[in-house]
Amino acid sequence: MEQNEKRALAEAMRASAPKQAQPRISAEEMDRYPCSVRPVAVDVPGEEPVQVYLTVPFQVTPGAPIFVNYHGGGFIRGRSDRDELFCRRLACTFQCVVVDVDYALAPDYPFPTAVHQARAAALWAKAQAADLDCDPEKLILLGQSAGGNLVANVCMTEVDEAAVRPLAAVITYAPLDLKTDPVQKFHPERDMPAERARGYNALYCPADKAGDWRVSPLFAPADRLTAFPRTLVVTAGDDSLAPEGEEFALKLARAGVEVTCKRFAGCVHGFFINRMDAWEDGIALIHRYLRSVLQEAAR
């Protein structure tokens, strides 16, 4: 596929949205979680700078955690108002700073650009934490869909250099196996068509790289998984990515990682960011998990 054809396909896919997703977030909803949201360009060795959005509530508890969030979108769709609202809720609920990472998108920036940017953003958050009244030892990574894949990458590269040292990770309905043809995967009736999933995969990386563990963390060697912190893996029952997410959680457990895995039966891919199905229950679970991690760290 030529680059102009890839761009046309990406634009067509970006223009479509989940059929059941609620309308755009209103200003009133944003105002329920008052924060300053400031874009910052973070340098990335060998790549374009990555834009992050520093989300800061009006009151930050000294020694608060710092969260680094990676949005979803199949590696081709950028940060949305729903992602901003999710980060505002986190910031206000925990009185902490959230670094919302708006990594470069395929097909103009295919693999491995987003992988490199994801780690650079986490390292930047770690370095800036103290200046933001946050505790750098309480850095937590969160990622939805493609963002969950990037969280896995940040954790796996800790084997080479333990510089981020996250306290915990949250990986939600992530694509972790881009090697297997989506046609061969489990497909609930409400799931996206396999051809659409193929499109996402093809725009992110060529087929001959799909088995790379940085593209498909499900195939990472066991020693790569040992660097993970305690991890929450969330899957959606009506999502073809659920089995690979749950298999990945099992592999983490076998590698000695403390893992919590929760499947939301009857929910579709992207359910809590797109505010579908049991979306409030999904957000509540993540908040409870984060609270328990932080309470244990405070002992």
Non-local CB neighbours of 280 within 8 Å, separated by 6+ positions:
272
Mean pLDDT across the stretch 148-157? 98
Residue 17 — pLDDT band, cuts 50, 70, 90?
A: low
What percent of the chain is modeled with pLDDT above 90? 90
Task: Please name the helix (run of DSSP H) or strand (run of DSSP E) that holds residue 169, with its range, or none.
Answer: strand 168-172
Q: Are 88 and 33 in contact (CB under 8 A)?
A: yes
List, for residues 63-79, the tens digit of each pLDDT value: 999 999 999 999 999 99
List, for residues 77-88, the tens digit of each pLDDT value: 999 999 999 999
Residue 19 — pLDDT band, cuts 50, 70, 90?
A: low
Q: What are phi and psi of 262, to 5 degrees?
A: -130, 125
Q: Return the closest-CA partner of residue 147 out of 107, 108, 118.
A: 118
Question: Would the pTM count as exceeding 0.95?
Answer: yes
Please determine, for residue 225, whether its predicted confidence score (pLDDT) is greater than 80: yes
Residue 188, pLDDT score:
85
- The CA distances from residue 231 to 103, 211, 258, 286, in Å, are 22, 23, 6, 11
Q: Which amino acid is at 103?
A: Y
Across the chain, what does the average pLDDT equal? 95
In which order are the strands placed within the sheet that holds 230-238?
35-42, 50-57, 97-102, 64-70, 134-144, 168-172, 230-238, 259-268
Residue 120, pLDDT score:
98
List, for residues 123-139, the tens digit of each pLDDT value: 999 999 999 999 999 99
List, for residues 158-203, the tens digit of each pLDDT value: 999 999 999 999 999 999 999 999 999 988 888 888 999 999 999 9
